Amino acid sequence: MSEPAPFDPARHALFLDFDGTLAPLVADPGAVPVTPALVSRLGAIARETNGALAIVSGRRIADLDRFLAPLDFAAAGVHGLERRARPGGRVESIASPEDLDDVRMRLRDGVAAEPRLALEDKGTALVLHYRTAPDLAEAAARLMAEAVTDREGLSVLHGDMIVEVHPAGMDKGVAVAAFMAEAPFAGRVPVYLGDDRTDEFALGVVEERGGLAVKVGRHPSVARHRLADVSAVHRWLGVAEASR
């Protein structure tokens, strides 16, 4: 893999994962450090691209708004189960929290029995975190498998120190394709940066469309380009220049 060519705001549409791409992975998901320089640079990119910038994340859009305030941006949250088509637009959801009520109860019981696991309830998705206890990877996978037993129409994703379940039929690739069908993204060349297994759906879609797919980190990927880490992403975006 090679490093990607420079971003061209005149012809590219930019899609960015959040955790592990824009911000470092930390033990406490609520304590992610985001610098003013990063927010400022993303705001400049949004202006330079006439709004063709979207954050595509497993997080809820409300959480992204909190971390990136006062930036106004298009977003896909919870792997596309939430979507804001344009800055300032309404957040739309294609699933209901009630769809996961039975799974939620089973996971809560399992986490109570193993307190080193953490359950994050996103409403339309449930996430088991074991970042502070990596030895529980198999236990987390087993607990999730048991929780979704006899349930149809659900998708289980294994990410970086997490196992997540949400209603099937949506992933980051579907979310990117939906953005590319509408202004201001339509007619531009898609660019996607992501580090996690869940980003592979979007990286594949971008490769198929002849865009610029960029894997962040060392894991195998369908992407043809790579950046080493969050710091390399910031340099590629021009964050360092923006902070001077």
pLDDT (tens place) for every residue of the chain, 244 residues total = 789 999 999 999 999 999 999 999 888 888 899 999 999 999 999 999 999 999 999 999 999 999 999 999 999 999 999 999 999 999 999 888 888 999 999 999 999 999 899 999 988 899 999 988 999 999 999 999 999 998 989 999 898 889 999 988 889 999 999 999 999 999 999 999 999 999 999 999 999 999 999 999 999 999 999 999 999 999 999 996 544 4
Run of H or E residues at 227:
strand 225-227
Task: For residue 105, give the amino acid letter.
Answer: M
Residue with tokens 């009630």, as numbered in its chain:
98
Active-site annotation, residues = 17
Domain 97-167: give its CATH superfamily. Trehalose-6-phosphate phosphatase related protein; domain 2 (3.30.70.1020)
Run of H or E residues at 45:
helix 36-48
Give the C-alpha separation, 151 to 170, whole Å: 17
Q: Is 186 exposed, middle or buried (0-12, 13-18, 19+ CB in 10 A)?
A: exposed
Transcribe 101-164 into DSSP letters. Answer: HHHHHHHHHHHHH-TTSEEEE-SS-EEEE-TT-GGGHHHHHHHHHHHTTT--SEEEEEETTEEE
CA angle 203, 204, 210 (to 5 degrees): 90
Run of H or E residues at 12:
strand 12-16
For the domain spanning 12-94+170-243, the CATH number is 3.40.50.1000
Q: Which residues are bridge partners to 167 per DSSP?
A: 154
In the prediction, which pLDDT does 130 show?
94
Instruction: Give the dihedral sign, CA 148/154/158/164.
Output: negative
In the prediction, which pLDDT does 242 show?
43
Domain boundaries, given as residue ranges, for the chain: 12-94+170-243, 97-167
Q: Do domains 12-94+170-243 and 97-167 have the same CATH topology?
A: no
Residue with tokens 């220049």, as numbered in its chain:
241
Give the C-alpha separation, 14 to 55, whole Å: 9
* In contact, 146 and 105? CB cutoff 8 Å: no
What are the tokens at 134?
């990596």
In the prediction, which pLDDT does 241 show?
52
Q: Spell out a b/e string for 17-30, using b for 16 or more CB atoms within 10 Å of the CB, else e.
A: bbbbbbbebeeebe
Question: Beta strands 162-167 and 154-159: pairing type?
Answer: antiparallel
